[in-house]
Each structure stands twice: as C-alpha cells, then as structure tokens.
C-alpha cells in the first residue's frame, strides 16, 4: 500500500486525517466549479487538534495548499501548492503567535483582511497556529467572522485539543474537528531517512525517544547539542543525592532551556533587524538620511520588543519540553514497577529506570511525577521559571 502523495506526504502517520481533508479539498474544487458536492464534506471553519509534534500546523498548511491547488488534489507541483507551502500565497494568511498570546487588535485586522475576495486563488484562507493563545477579546473578534463567514473564506485553527481551556465552546461549535494522532515511530524514522538523509539506526533511535514529536525527532537526529541537553535532563532523577544537587539541577534545566532558545533566536533576530534597517533606509549614507535613521531605529526598537516576547515564549516552550522528558522518566519508572508492559518513553535509559523502580516506592514516584506536572502548570500561569523549577526539584529529591 502506497502512502499519501503530493502535499499530503508531509503529514507523517496521519492517514485518517489525510482522508478527511483530501475529501474536503475535492469537494471544495467541485464547489468552485459549480458542481454538486457531497453535503458536509467542505465547511468554512476547521479545528485541527492533536498532541505536540503531531503536525497540526503542517496539516493546516497542506489542507490550504490543496484548497488552492489547480487540480483540487494537493498535487504539490502547481503554483497554488508551491506558494502556499512556501508561505507566499497572497490569499493564505498565517498567524504564528511569537509572544504569549494573540491580541484582539491583531485578530481584528486579520478578520478584515479575510473578508476580501480571493485575488489569485479560489479561497481566502486564514491559518491560526496555537489558537489556544487567543485572548478573550481576540476569540470574540474571531467568533463574529466564523459566525458570518464570507462566501469564499476558510478558517483553519490549530490547538492541542477542543477542550474549553484551549478553544472557546462557541468557536468549537462552529468548527469541524480533525484530530491528529501521535505518529508511530516507524513512520517517523522512515521520514527522517527519506527526507533528511539520517542514518537508519540513528533515525530509529530518535523516533523511539521523541514521544511522537516529528520535529523533536529531526532535531535529536541532526543536532548533537540537542542530544546532549536531553541527556543532561535525564540524569537529574537519579543524580539528586545531596541538598546542593537541587540548585545545581535547577540551574541545569534553566540553562539548557536558555541555550536552546538562544540558538534558535540569535540568527533569526539579527537577520530581522538587518532587513528592517535596510528596508527603512537606516543603513544609508549621505544627505537627507537622518530622518530615515531615526525612523529605522524606532522601528528596530519595536521589533526588539516583539523579539523579546518571542524569546520568552521560546524559552518556556523549550523548558516545557525538558519537563515532558522528566515526566516521561517517572512514567517509565511506574510502568516498570507495575510490569504493565507499556512502551517506554526513554528506552535508552532503561538501566536507570530499573534502578529507580527498585529504589522508590510507587507512591514516591507518583509524587515526583505530580511535581513535574505542577511545575509545568505553574510556569503556564506565569510563575517565574526558576522558582517553579527549584520547588519541583526539591520534591524530586525528597520523593
């Protein structure tokens, strides 16, 4: 049996979702052509949910490409497919929150733009990544557009789940939900080998320890520093022997998150500042450039403010990933203690997991796991990361 083709091949291990979305794009092409389409196959608002790394934003982009495809199939070769996947299609607007939330002003501007008729494509498409970061005002602004959508406008929302904590009930009720699953390790390893040229053995290892997160698997397979940071995090559970180890381990967690976020942001931030100065004439010489320089510097300050917000979000996301690894370790200890036979999150640390299972009671392991989950929740509620992490590591040592 052959896998998905065209743009759909970018969705790893999501065959049921591909079937639903490809059927919708086919129906959309019939609507554009004035032909009868199956009732309910295509709608104006979609909510794509799934665990981190399952490919929510990829699913939204591929669906948008298929809607703009000249054949209606998502062929991957036509201008509609290529420009949508590249992020340059004039009728596809992508909202990627770089800060901690999506503001009402940003959403109102987006809704106004989405009300226009398509210019080069057949549909006006709005993709909102991390729709769970919509403020209450932004949700209300979006709701008005979703309740009374323009004829050729489609909203694609991405969120971890359709729970009211992630997406308001009123918006959820007006969307068709497509739920992605955790991709199987075999599918992830296959993609790493075929797409990224990763050694098969390394690809299999990365796929087995990434928790179903395709992007994480690729990074672990291609970035030695990412592998080292993961190893540092997973040494913490069995390395808390002295009181001083609490502060050392907390510092390691925070430092690893800062380093990871710094690497991701540094080059991008500098390129953005340079491009902005050039676009506004801030790097010009000669007479009459003083005003341009002042305007450029003011714009750069605004950009740096946005970059700082983005860096905070990136650092928190990176720290959360480390906490997920920690939670996975304690979960593996419980799996080993209870002999449930479930697949381990960290099979490459099986010796440490077995040692911990022999040394800790199930109750103390569960308390440690709960401490990690409480730390994640505290950081999400804007508790300073270092304070939350130190409190967590104290419990991890005491059990």
| The two domains 6-179 and 244-398 share their CATH topology (first three levels equal) | no
Phi, psi of 135 (to 5 degrees): -70, 170
Tell me the pLDDT of the chain averaged across its residues: 86
Query: How sure is the predictor about 162, in pLDDT bands with cuts at 50, 70 and 90?
Result: confident
Residue 98 has pLDDT above 70, yes or no: no
- 51: which residues sit within 8 A by CB, 6+ positions away? 160, 180, 182, 212
- 333: which residues sit within 8 A by CB, 6+ positions away? 237, 353, 356, 357, 360, 365
**Between residues 19 and 105, which one has the greater pLDDT?**
19
User: pLDDT, tens digit, for every residue of 11-70?
Assistant: 888 999 999 999 999 999 999 888 888 888 899 999 999 988 888 999 999 999 999 998
Chain centroid to CA 318: how far? 11
Residue 345's alpha-carbon distances to 224, 267, 281, 348, in angstroms, are 20, 32, 52, 9
**Between residues 258 and 183, which one has the greater pLDDT?**
183
Q: Which two tokens stand for residue 214?
A: 């395709």
Residue 399's alpha-carbon distances to 21, 151, 176, 346, in angstroms, are 47, 58, 44, 21
Distance CA 396, CA 272 (A): 41
Residue 295's alpha-carbon distances to 183, 290, 300, 302, in angstroms, are 48, 9, 9, 11
Distance CA 4, CA 66 (A): 13
Q: Which long-range contacts (CB under 8 A, 24 or more apart) does 274-283 make?
A: 276/300, 276/303
Query: How sure is the predictor about 195, in pLDDT bands with cuts at 50, 70 and 90?
Result: confident
Q: Which two tokens stand for residue 67?
A: 């809607």
DSSP helix/strand/coil, 70:
coil
Beta strand 92-95 pairing with 124-128: parallel
Q: Which two tokens stand for residue 93?
A: 């607007």
Chain centroid to CA 241: how far? 35
Residue 338's alpha-carbon distances to 1, 215, 326, in angstroms, are 38, 31, 19
Query: How sure is the predictor about 261, in pLDDT bands with cuts at 50, 70 and 90?
Result: low
DSSP string, 325-371: HHHHHHHHHHHHHHT--PPPS-GGGHHHHHHHHHHS-HHHHHHHHHH
Residue 1 has pLDDT above 50, yes or no: no
Q: Which two tokens stand for residue 162?
A: 């359709």
Distance CA 69, CA 72 (A): 5
At 53 the pLDDT is 80
Q: Which of the given ranges, 134-148, 192-206, 269-283, has the highest pLDDT on average?
A: 192-206
DSSP string, 177-193: EEE--PPPHHHHHHHHH
Residue 287 has pLDDT above 60, yes or no: no
At 266 the pLDDT is 62
At 180 the pLDDT is 93
Distance CA 325, CA 230 (A): 8
Residue 256 has pLDDT above 90, yes or no: no
* Class (C level, CATH) for 244-398: mainly alpha
At 291 the pLDDT is 56
DSSP helix/strand/coil, 380:
helix
Residue 109 has pLDDT above 80, yes or no: yes
Q: Which of the given ranges, 305-309, 315-319, 325-329, has the highest pLDDT on average?
A: 325-329
Q: Which homologous superfamily does the CATH classification assign to the domain defined by 6-179?
A: P-loop containing nucleotide triphosphate hydrolases (3.40.50.300)
Query: How sure is the predictor about 170, in pLDDT bands with cuts at 50, 70 and 90?
Result: very high
Distance CA 213, CA 194 (A): 17
Helix (H) or strand (E) holding 63: helix 56-68
What are the residue boundaries of the structural domains of the chain, listed by start?
A: 6-179, 189-222, 244-398
DSSP helix/strand/coil, 55:
coil
* 282 CB-side CA count, 13 A: 17
Cβ burial, residue 273 (10 Å; 0-12/13-18/19+): middle
What's the first-to-final CA gap in the chain, in angstroms? 49
Residue 91's alpha-carbon distances to 25, 69, 175, 308, in angstroms, are 16, 12, 21, 29
């Amino acid at each position: 049996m052959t896998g998905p083709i065209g743009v759909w091949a970018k969705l790893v291990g999501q065959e049921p979702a591909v079937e639903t979305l490809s059927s919708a794009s086919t129906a959309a092409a019939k609507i554009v052509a004035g032909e009868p389409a199956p009732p309910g196959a295509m709608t104006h608002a979609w909510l794509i949910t799934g665990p981190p790394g399952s490919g929510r934003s990829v699913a939204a982009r591929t669906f948008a490409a298929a809607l703009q495809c000249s054949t209606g199939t998502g062929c991957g070769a036509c201008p509609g497919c290529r420009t949508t996947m590249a992020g340059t299609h004039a009728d596809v607007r992508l909202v990627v929150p770089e800060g901690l939330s999506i503001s009402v002003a940003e959403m109102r501007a987006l809704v106004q733009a989405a009300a226009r008729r398509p210019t080069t494509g057949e549909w006006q498409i709005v993709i909102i990544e991390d729709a769970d970061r919509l403020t209450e005002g932004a949700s209300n602004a979006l709701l008005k557009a979703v309740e009374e959508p323009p004829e050729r406008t489609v909203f694609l929302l991405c969120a971890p789940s359709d729970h009211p904590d992630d997406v308001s009930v009123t918006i959820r009720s007006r969307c068709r939900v497509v739920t992605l699953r955790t991709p199987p390790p075999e599918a992830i390893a296959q993609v790493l080998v075929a797409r990224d040229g990763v050694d098969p053995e390394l690809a299999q290892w990365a796929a087995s320890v990434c928790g179903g997160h395709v992007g994480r698997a690729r990074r672990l397979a291609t970035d030695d520093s990412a592998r080292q940071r993961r190893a540092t995090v997973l040494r913490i559970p069995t390395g808390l022997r002295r009181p001083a180890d609490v502060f050392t381990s907390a510092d390691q967690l925070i430092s690893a998150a800062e380093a990871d976020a710094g690497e991701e942001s540094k080059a991008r931030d500098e390129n953005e500042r340079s491009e902005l100065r050039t676009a506004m004439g801030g790097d010009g010489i000669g007479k009459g450039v003083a005003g341009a320089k002042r305007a450029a510097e003011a714009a750069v300050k605004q950009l740096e403010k946005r970059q700082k917000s983005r860096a905070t979000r990136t650092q928190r996301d990176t720290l959360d990933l480390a906490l997920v690894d920690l939670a996975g370790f304690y979960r593996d200890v419980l799996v080993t203690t209870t002999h449930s036979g479930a697949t381990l999150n960290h099979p490459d640390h099986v010796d440490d997991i077995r040692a911990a299972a022999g040394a800790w009671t199930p109750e103390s392991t569960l308390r440690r796991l709960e401490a990690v989950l409480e730390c994640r929740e505290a950081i999400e509620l804007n508790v300073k990361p270092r304070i939350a992490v130190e409190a967590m590591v104290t419990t991890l040592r005491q059990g």
